[in-house]
Copies of this chain bind each other. A is one copy, B any other.
């Protein structure tokens, strides 16, 4: 089962905020006078210009907050390596794990024998966790026996510049499947909320027309629709 993502907060009018900040850099106007109004066509002009010249810092003024459920701790450990992001994660020190929820990799689900091994082991791990708790072992210690695949929940805030960076790394076909699935869901929500900020966004095959990996997968993306319509 794959993670679920909701957009729970964002900078209002994020495209106008970014474009206005960009305009200020090149204009003699005062900062307080420069804010672009709704429908101002120069918003798209400024956003395109920023992208084309690689002037990405104005994208930092718009932030997006996501609620994420059903992500494995394997993926959350990777995720929190992104330093320009803010995370609030459910604590296994304080919260008792009550269900056998864990992320099952697709390669495991696809093979009945593997699925059986995985599910039995998961069940026995939850059982051992419960017995350790019953013996008085603190939650923060009993969790050492839980599997890496155990589900976690978290809130995540990134600004639009870091989101672009995140998408460029994590939407490549060579990225690990679970964080790629997370990235795809975040992109779908961010793109819907602020199309001009994220049109386009993704791996270098899409945004720069060339692969930045040492070994190309040989299947470059040609559109955002292609990225967004992939199965998990």
Residue positions of A touching B, CB distance < 8 A: 4, 6, 8-13, 17, 20-22, 24-32, 34-35, 49, 52-54, 57-58, 60-63, 65, 67-69, 72-74, 76-77, 80-81, 83, 86-96, 98, 102-108, 111, 113-114, 117-118, 120-122, 124-125, 128, 131-132, 135-138, 140-141, 143-150, 153-155, 157, 159, 176, 212-214
Between-chain CB contacts (< 8 Å), 10 pairs? A28-B95, A30-B67, A30-B153, A34-B67, A74-B144, A77-B77, A93-B176, A121-B145, A144-B149, A145-B148
Report how far A22 CA is from B91 CA in the complex, Å: 11
Q: Determine which of B9, B13, B73 lies in contact with A77 in the assembled complex, contact meaning CB atoms within 8 Å.
A: B73
Contact of A147 among B61, B94, B95, B147 (CB under 8 A): B147
Interfacial chain B residues near A21, Cβ < 8 Å: 65, 88, 155
A92 contact set on B, CB distance < 8 A: 74, 148
Q: A24-B153, A148-B150 are in contact. List 7 more A-B contacts (CB 8 A).
A: A9-B12, A11-B63, A21-B88, A24-B154, A30-B69, A72-B144, A74-B144
Given contacts A17-B65, A157-B61, contact A118 B132 (CB under 8 A): yes
Which of A54, A81, A105 is packed against the most chain B CB atoms within 10 Å? A105
Name the residue among A26, A105, A145, A159 with the largest chain B CB count within 10 angstroms: A145
The answer to whether A61 and B105 touch across the interface, beta carbons within 8 angstroms, is: no
Residues on B with beta carbons closer than 8 Å to the beta carbon of A69: 30-32
CB-contact partner of A86 in B53, B57, B107, B154, under 8 A: B57
Bound CA span A122–B93, Å: 20
Cross-chain contact A143 with B148 (CB below 8 angstroms): yes
A148 to B137, CA, bound (A): 16
CA distance A32 to B65 in the complex (A): 11
What B residues does A76 contact at CB under 8 A?
77
Nearest 4 Cβ contacts at the A-B interface: A144-B149, A60-B86, A31-B67, A105-B141
